[in-house]
């Protein structure tokens, strides 16, 4: 791309371009346009709002944050008028919510749909970003804000033979709008992360046969989803301030605190009872049973043992149960899934499990999937629940070029480097909502998104009020933050899941760097506020 002004003819000039119309992009547009009075153009690849939830419409797609917490908290009237129906919001309900938000704040008029950004280039002479879409549109903006999500770049594994498969295949993160009819079909599902664990029981309801291909066995906790009672809905509406305060004070942005007790403080019987109560209650709160589950391997082992034992209690076939429980990483070092009937699904006659650790996939044949033991599993449909090129993927799939022609791909060749997950040295006025180095995926995302969007909005307001043309971090501040992100991860057991997407290990050739900030949302929020209060310490303004 050439940002020369001669090329700018026909370009639309705005104060800010925001990429993406999910939770982050919608709120960023609202803040910049309706609070600061800026002209804003949102560019969105899909033909509707929703971001991650627009693309992830696979069977069983549901959020694992509880619905009363998986919402914007910036507007009390919005909180009061919206009503969630279930304990965890399903994909369709989240889409209804985000469409409601878009209408309520009249956001659509500044969103261009079907406009996938191909690249953006910074022109130092004019201090402007030149942003181009794949459709050839050109926008010029002072501020460029990526709101592209962390889990939006689908990771379709490059398994030999896929192109010769006679059936149909789908990635869960690029699910067809019209849905997929599994009735009577032989379905193979590859992947047993949060997505596969949600999808399998639903696919099994209509499929002729479902074969689950498991490479890494996974813990899962029952969601215990249910319709919300009128009492709960009334309580949540009457206590929005308290809920907001709790989410902002908590480590993960959820409306509950981690118990301040060690797993070693209690007797084995008490511990079992605590785990049993958390299992019966369901959901991510299980992880909050003790403060040291993510820092002390022996403490973690107690939770891991409890969870493995539950698999044996649910799954009737002992061989299948053993393969499902053969988990090789500490509990919650990969994002812990929560499920509705996942392990129970293996008690159905039409569901079987293939252990890829014992016999990996050799290739895809025209008829199905061939494993190394010579077994060919005949299939009509393959579902890849194989995750994402997380956090960096959505950013690096665009060509972003900063000062002196340095590309983001080059700047991040050894792994992502940001200051606070918000900015990259050499890329002035580029802000990355929930970028690598921010708590993002380790938290309840809307909480993290609101904090980022508000920080960026305040920062831009500060620049404009003081006539400051641009902001970017110093290389030293950025390196210091990268080291801090590493230290925060290494203080936990999180890096022990060597094959997790937190580390980029699921994408061949991706640098192994622990990407999200594991220091906790409350601490992170305080750090960001402190940096701003000290005149944007660590940033160059001017
Ligand atoms: O992806 P994953 P996901 N051959 O990367 C396997 C969020 N989310 O889409 O572990 C065979 O976790 C891979 O195996 P392994 C949530 O943050 C939230 O499930 O690499 N298998 C793994 O089993 C979550 O963590 C919600 O050995 C292959 C699976 O595919 C994140 O999204 C719902 C393979 C991928 O698991 C990602 O979850 C859903 C291959 N070549 C997702 N390649 C909720 O809010 C990969 N795998 C509820």
- Provide DSSP, 142-169: EEEEE---SS-SB-----TTGGG-SSEE
Cβ of 387 below 6 Å from ligand 1:
yes
Count of residues in the chain: 542
Closest by CA to 450, choosing from 79, 63, 45, is 79
SS3 content of the chain, % helix, strand, coil (to 5): 35, 20, 45
State percent of the chain over pLDDT 90: 97
Query: How far apart are the C-alpha atoms of 268 and 37, rounded to whole Å?
Result: 59
- Decide if pLDDT at 39 tops 50: yes
176, exposed or middle or buried, with CB in 10 Å at 0-12, 13-18, 19+?
Answer: exposed
- Tell me the Cα Rg of the chain: 23
pLDDT band at 8 (very low <50, low <70, confident <90, very high): low
Cβ of 288 below 6 Å from ligand 1:
no
Cβ of 194 below 6 Å from ligand 1:
yes
How would you write 225-271 as a 3-class SS string?
A: CCECCHHHHHHHHHCHHHHHHHHHHCCCCCCCCCCCCCCCCCCHHHH
Closest by CA to 453, choosing from 32, 44, 71, 50, is 32
Closest by CA to 58, choosing from 429, 391, 388, is 388
Cβ of 499 below 6 Å from ligand 1:
yes
Query: How far apart are the C-alpha atoms of 5 and 358, rounded to whole Å?
Result: 60
Mean pLDDT of 41-55: 97
State percent of the chain over pLDDT 70: 98
* Ligand 1 mean position, distance from CA 351 (Å): 20
Query: How far apart are the C-alpha atoms of 52 and 70, rounded to whole Å?
Result: 14
Please state the separation of Cα 156 from the chain's center in Å: 17
Are the C-beta atoms of residues 436 and 145 closer than 8 Å to each other?
no
Mean pLDDT of 303-315: 98
Cβ of 193 below 6 Å from ligand 1:
yes
Cβ of 441 below 6 Å from ligand 1:
yes
Query: How far apart are the C-alpha atoms of 122 and 441, rounded to whole Å?
Result: 28
* Ligand 1 mean position, distance from CA 64 (Å): 14
Please state the separation of Cα 389 from the chain's center in Å: 11
Could you count the other beta carbons within 10 Å of the beta carbon of residue 413? Answer: 10
Query: How far apart are the C-alpha atoms of 533 and 531, rounded to whole Å?
Result: 6
At residue 9, the pLDDT reads: 64
Q: What are phi and psi of 81, to 5 degrees?
A: -90, -20
* Ligand 1 mean position, distance from CA 389 (Å): 10
| DSSP-assigned beta bridge partners for residue 121 | 130, 401
How would you write 190-228 as a 3-class SS string?
A: ECCCHHHHHHHHHHHHHECEEEEEECCCCCCEECCCCEC
Give the H/E segment covering residue 370: strand 368-371
pLDDT: is 497 or 536 the higher one?
536
Q: Whose CA is nearest to atom 36 of ligand 1?
A: 193
pTM score, whole prediction: 0.96
Q: What are phi and psi of 137, to 5 degrees?
A: -80, 155
Sequence-ordered list of residues with C-beta below 8 angstroms from that of 381, at least 6 positions apart, any chain: 167, 168, 169, 170, 180, 182, 185, 186, 187, 188
* Ligand 1 mean position, distance from CA 387 (Å): 4
Q: Across the chain, what does the average pLDDT equal?
A: 96
Q: What is the ipTM for the molecules in this complex?
A: 0.99
Query: How far apart are the C-alpha atoms of 338 and 58, rounded to whole Å?
Result: 16
* Ligand 1 mean position, distance from CA 199 (Å): 11
pLDDT digits (tens, 9 = 90+) for 92-108: 999 999 999 999 999 99
Q: Whose CA is nearest to atom 5 of ligand 1?
A: 387
Query: How far apart are the C-alpha atoms of 150 and 435, rounded to whole Å?
Result: 7
At residue 498, the pLDDT reads: 80
Query: How far apart are the C-alpha atoms of 456 and 459, rounded to whole Å?
Result: 5
- Decide if pLDDT at 222 tops 60: yes
Alpha helices in 43-161 (DSSP H): 52-55, 76-81, 91-104
Q: Whose CA is nearest to atom 39 of ligand 1?
A: 195
Q: Whose CA is nearest to atom 3 of ligand 1?
A: 387
pLDDT digits (tens, 9 = 90+) for 369-388: 999 999 999 999 999 999 99
pLDDT band at 340 (very low <50, low <70, confident <90, very high): very high
Q: What are phi and psi of 541, to 5 degrees?
A: -110, 125
Least confident of 56-70, 196-210, 493-507, 513-527: 493-507
Query: How far apart are the C-alpha atoms of 196 and 457, rounded to whole Å?
Result: 37
């Amino acid at each position: 791309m050439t940002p020369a002004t001669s090329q700018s003819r026909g370009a639309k000039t705005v104060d800010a371009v925001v990429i993406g119309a999910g939770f982050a992009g919608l709120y960023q547009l609202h803040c910049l346009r309706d609070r600061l009075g800026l002209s804003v153009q949102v560019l969105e690849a899909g033909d509707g709002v929703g971001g991650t939830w627009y693309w992830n419409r696979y069977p069983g797609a549901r959020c694992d944050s509880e619905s009363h917490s998986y919402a914007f908290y910036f507007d009390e009237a919005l909180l009061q008028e919206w009503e969630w129906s279930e304990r965890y919001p399903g994909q369709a309900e989240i889409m209804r919510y985000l469409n409601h938000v878009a209408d309520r704040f009249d956001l659509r008029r500044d969103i261009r749909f079907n406009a996938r950004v191909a690249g953006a280039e910074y022109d130092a002479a004019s201090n402007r970003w030149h942003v181009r879409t794949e459709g050839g549109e050109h926008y010029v903006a002072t501020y460029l804000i990526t709101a592209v999500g962390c889990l939006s770049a689908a990771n379709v594994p490059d398994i030999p033979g896929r192109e010769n498969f006679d059936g149909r295949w789908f990635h869960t993160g690029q699910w067809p709008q019209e849905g997929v009819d599994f009735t009577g079909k032989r379905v193979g599902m590859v992947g047993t992360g949060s997505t596969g664990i949600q999808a399998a029981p639903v696919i099994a309801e209509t499929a002729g046969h479902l074969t689950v291909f498991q490479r890494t066995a996974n813990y899962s906790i029952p969601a215990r989803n249910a319709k919300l009672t009128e009492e709960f809905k009334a309580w949540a509406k009457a206590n929005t301030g308290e809920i907001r305060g709790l989410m902002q004070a908590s480590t993960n942005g959820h409306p509950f605190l981690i118990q301040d007790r060690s797993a070693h403080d209690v007797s084995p019987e008490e511990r079992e009872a605590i785990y049993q109560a958390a299992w019966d209650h369901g959901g991510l709160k299980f992880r909050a049973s003790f403060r040291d589950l993510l820092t002390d391997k022996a403490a973690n082992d107690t939770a891991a043992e409890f969870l493995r034992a539950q698999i044996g209690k649910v799954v009737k076939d002992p061989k299948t149960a053993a393969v499902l429980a053969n988990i090789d990483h500490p509990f919650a070092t990969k994002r812990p899934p929560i499920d509705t009937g996942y392990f129970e699904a293996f008690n159905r006659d039409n569901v079987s499990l293939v252990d890829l650790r014992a016999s990996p996939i050799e290739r895809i044949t025209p008829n199905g999937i061939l494993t190394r033991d010579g077994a060919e599993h005949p299939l009509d449909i393959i579902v890849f629940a194989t995750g994402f090129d997380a956090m960096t993927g959505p950013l690096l799939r665009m060509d972003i070029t900063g000062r002196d022609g340095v590309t983001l791909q080059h700047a991040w060749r050894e792994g992502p480097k940001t200051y606070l997950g918000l900015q990259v040295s050499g890329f002035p006025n580029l802000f990355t909502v929930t970028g690598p180095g921010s708590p993002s995926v380790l938290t309840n995302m809307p909480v993290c998104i609101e904090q980022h969007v508000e920080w960026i909005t305040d920062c831009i307001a500060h620049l404009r009020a003081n006539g400051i043309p641009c902001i970017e971090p110093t290389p030293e501040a950025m390196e210091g933050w990268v080291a801090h992100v590493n230290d925060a991860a290494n203080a936990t057991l999180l890096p022990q899941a060597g094959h997790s997407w937190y580390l980029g290990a699921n994408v061949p050739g991706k640098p192994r760097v622990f990407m999200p900030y594991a220091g906790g949302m409350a601490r992170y929020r305080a750090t960001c506020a402190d940096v701003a209060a000290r005149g944007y310490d660590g940033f160059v303004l001017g």
